[in-house]
A and B are shown apart, each in its own frame.
Chain A
Amino acid sequence: MRRAGVATLLTLLLLVAATMLVALREWRPAWRGYQVAAAEASDGPTSGRGVVAVDVAATGERELCLTCHAGLEEMSRSHPRALGCVVCHGGQAGALDAEVAHQGLVGGANPSALDVVERGCGAAGPGGERCHGGGALDRDHVARVRRSLQATYAGGIGAVLTTFSGIHGPTGVVAEARDARATDGLPRIVALDARADEAPPVGQTARDLRQSCVTGGCHLNSSGGEVDGSSGHAAGCAACHVLSTGAQTYQGADAAVAASAVPGGGRHEFTVGIPFTQCNTCHNRGIYDLRGLRFYPRDDMTGPQMYEGSEASYYRPGERYAQCEVTLNCIDCHTQAEIMGDGRLLADKAAAQRTRCSTCHGTPENAPASRTVSASDTTLRALGRASTVYDVRVGDRLATAGGQQVISSTRWEDDRLIVTDKVDGSQHPVPLVRGSGCEQDGSSQRAQYCHTCHYQEQP
């Protein structure tokens, strides 16, 4: 009987212990820990908020993601929380544990990576209309970016191939925008790809270039992680629109993903006001050694300097730049079509670049070309709506580099051309060449000639 009593007592203790474990899980679910951590980080009250549900009006779905992702930054003004998470990220919004909730995520944490972008940024939004893909080419950012030099790195590959092997790759326009051949998957520069099958060293070089520069290095098709000690950027659209901080982990306030590896160390924030420092994460980091196909970061500006906004750190020693190039940001002059592509498959940068000094400054003979915004300029007006520092209205007269290549943040006011800095909103009157005493021949006016006189001494 005594043994039976002990066994009964032990069984009761077991049941009590099991009940306590059940109660512990019920009262302290895993997501509550994230909420407490986020509250502590923001010096807010640490009492639990409970399950956070967002009813997405457009889809009629209830999303619970913010229960765990407490403290997560709102993506942007045009991507408010009310839009929900699933429309961009996929996943299972009704789940409250990571294993289930993250099933079906598009591109992990980054739905803008180019290998998934058509299911992410380019997918259909709540209304069923594709957000940043599909439709007319000027609105199909996904198709254009995937064919752009930023994604293919064709210019770099061509230059290195030519230098290394003496064989000239294609130049100029490889495929027109109407040629849909390269819209399926990674755009391929056929002429360069074909060389991958050639005998060494050409074939090996072509293969290495693809591997190290396009898919494994720093261009948009890659994750853009740390390359040879330099801090990189996120992949895809986020490479430019999510600002790098120089770190390699997430830098935002979402406790659920704190310290997660994020190339470039960005936050959950998109911007269209992209400062030159972001362009720096690719364009001013160092040089490529053609023999070893290795990248050597600059040794005169290491680490965070690249991200502090120091103008001194922007320019390579010995290069010549004019004042406007030091004062403004890259995107203040270079148009969306130049940077994100215009749908054509190009082999080099020269084929993409439209903006010249004369685009805004004009020539000794002529004022800058301009274009008046009409109601049908939906894409142009959309650029203004997306920005927080400038607007594009019907009737505005803007400087243009020809066709759709319009410097959207410029505006003629009376007889003055004003350019608005797209990052900080500061306004700058543009000095015109005409009437300035400049003796330049307008018909052959090129940047290097302008730089001869307008060279800005490095600080």
Chain B
Amino acid sequence: MHPRVLPRAALAWRRTYGLGGLAVLLTIVTGSTGVLLTLYYEPSTGRASESLLRIAYLVPLGWLVRNLHYWAAQILVVVALLHLVRVLAHGALRGRMALNWLVGLGLFVAVVWADFSGYVLRWDLSGREALATAGGLTERAPVVGSAMTRLLWGGDGALLRTYFWHCFGIAAVGALALGYHAWRVRRDGGVALPARRDGASDRTLVPSVQLVRRELIASGVALAALAVVSTYLDAPITLAGQSRAPWFFYPIQLLVARGDPFWLGVVLPLIPLALLAALPWAPAAWWRRGASVDPQARDSRLQVVESAEQMQKRRAGGPA
């Protein structure tokens, strides 16, 4: 994913706060633990929660796998949101980066959907109620409501349908989109770099191994923290008592209670998403005063990419 050399400025912590890399790491953790969970999870209404208890209490280290899966997924929602805000704040969504911005938005939606469907897959009290609520919201959509509800949540086979989306639909498409997203960052010239006060760009190049080392250290720290959290905080399961909505849907839950569920629960949350999607084509002065991305710096990044590719070709003995 990385070119052989990078601008030194691109390695600065404040350029990314490590959010994109952390999101990738968390995606890998959720994916790999998710694969392990499928070895024991049974997506049938009569066995789902029971198999979850088996994973949590009887399967060796099953509790760890489930807790890692859960906490990585929860943190991923937060990290993806922060990553989105960071990209927005750095203005790295205009021009040729607009497409990747849209891909990123799509990935964010996929993360939330995956989180929600995972919540449903517990098939506990909260999961079943969340599914009923989601089905009730999409059912109210005009014309396509019924078809969309069946497609997303299913009817009698709701759990199996959710399982498909969670494990195959979202995961497969999401993995491809994430790969494209990361490749596209490089293709678009790497991370956005700010213009220097003197108008010039820091053109100092460093080998990418420095970035890789930093990423490995950050990943190690993140994994250790995730393991500690997963050791002491168990993923919830509510088999009786008071059900709880997914925390990231609390705002929607509050909205739905105040008026028409479809307009407040579906349409209203889609408005900011649509605005975000349209943002790259908004006048710069309208949404942001002055670009923080130095065009010259971006040119230099493109040169870095090209020079790295040329270096590879040279080593391979091809034409420069």
- List chain A positions with a Cβ less than 8 A from chain B: 4, 7-8, 11-12, 14-15, 17-19, 21-22, 25-26, 51, 64, 90, 92, 94-97, 99-100, 103-104
Known A95-B56, A96-B57; contact A22-B239, beta-carbon cutoff 8 A: no
Contacts of A97 in B (CB 8 A): 57, 234
Known A95-B57, A96-B57; contact A15-B228, beta-carbon cutoff 8 A: no
Question: Are A14 and B221 in touch, CB under 8 angstroms?
Answer: yes
Contacts of A11 in B (CB 8 A): 216-217, 220-221, 224
B285 within 8 A of A: no
- List chain B positions with a Cβ less than 8 A from chain A: 50, 53-54, 56-58, 60-61, 63-64, 213, 216-217, 220-221, 223-225, 227-228, 230-231, 234, 237-241
Known A11-B220, A17-B224, A22-B227; contact A100-B237, beta-carbon cutoff 8 A: yes
Question: Are B239 and A92 in touch, CB under 8 angstroms?
Answer: yes
Which of A7, A21, A64, A100 has a CB less than 8 Å from the CB of B239? A100
Q: Which 4 A-B pairs have the closest CB atoms?
A: A104-B240, A94-B53, A11-B220, A18-B227
B129 to chain A, nearest CB (A): 15
Can you spell out 15 A-B residue pairs with CB atoms less than 8 angstroms apart?
A: A7-B217, A8-B216, A11-B221, A14-B220, A18-B227, A22-B64, A25-B63, A25-B231, A51-B58, A64-B57, A92-B239, A94-B57, A95-B53, A99-B234, A100-B237
Which A-chain residue is minimally distant from B219 (CB atoms)?
A: A11
Contacts of A100 in B (CB 8 A): 53, 56, 234, 237, 239
Contacts of B221 in A (CB 8 A): 11, 14
B249 to chain A, nearest CB (A): 22
Question: Are A103 and B224 in touch, CB under 8 angstroms?
Answer: no
Which A-chain residue is minimally distant from B62 (CB atoms)?
A: A26
In the bound complex, how far is the Cα of B53 from the Cα of A95, in angstroms? 6
Question: Are A103 and B241 in touch, CB under 8 angstroms?
Answer: yes
Contacts of B54 in A (CB 8 A): 94
In the bound complex, how far is the Cα of B240 from the Cα of A90, in angstroms? 10
Contacts of B60 in A (CB 8 A): 26
Chain A residues touching B, majority SS: helix
Which B-chain residue is minimally distant from A97 (CB atoms)?
A: B234
Contacts of A22 in B (CB 8 A): 61, 64, 227, 230-231
In the bound complex, how far is the Cα of B252 from the Cα of A409, in angstroms? 67
Question: Are A8 and B231 in touch, CB under 8 angstroms?
Answer: no
Which B-chain residue is minimally distant from A67 (CB atoms)?
A: B57
Contacts of A8 in B (CB 8 A): 213, 216-217
In the bound complex, how far is the Cα of B206 from the Cα of A34, in angstroms? 58
In the bound complex, how far is the Cα of B224 from the Cα of A128, in angstroms? 50
Contacts of A90 in B (CB 8 A): 240
In the bound complex, how far is the Cα of B228 from the Cα of A19, in angstroms? 9
In the bound complex, how far is the Cα of B220 from the Cα of A21, in angstroms? 15
B227 to chain A, nearest CB (A): 4
Contacts of A26 in B (CB 8 A): 60-61, 63-64
Which of A7, A17, A103 has a CB less than 8 Å from the CB of B238? A103
Which A-chain residue is minimally distant from B228 (CB atoms)?
A: A18
Contacts of B234 in A (CB 8 A): 97, 99-100
Known A4-B213, A19-B227, A22-B227; contact A12-B53, beta-carbon cutoff 8 A: no
In the bound complex, how far is the Cα of B222 from the Cα of A15, in angstroms? 9
Which of B61, B223, B237, B240 has a CB less than 8 Å from the CB of A18? B223
B51 to chain A, nearest CB (A): 9
Question: Are B241 and A104 in touch, CB under 8 angstroms?
Answer: yes
In the bound complex, how far is the Cα of B234 from the Cα of A217, in angstroms? 40
In the bound complex, how far is the Cα of B71 from the Cα of A362, in angstroms? 77
In the bound complex, how far is the Cα of B226 from the Cα of A15, in angstroms? 10
In the bound complex, how far is the Cα of B225 from the Cα of A64, in angstroms? 31
In the bound complex, how far is the Cα of B111 from the Cα of A142, in angstroms? 52
Given contacts A15-B220, A94-B54, A95-B56, 20 further A-B contacts (CB under 8 A): A4-B217, A8-B213, A8-B216, A8-B217, A14-B224, A15-B223, A18-B223, A18-B231, A22-B61, A22-B231, A25-B63, A25-B231, A26-B60, A26-B64, A51-B58, A92-B53, A94-B50, A95-B57, A97-B234, A104-B241
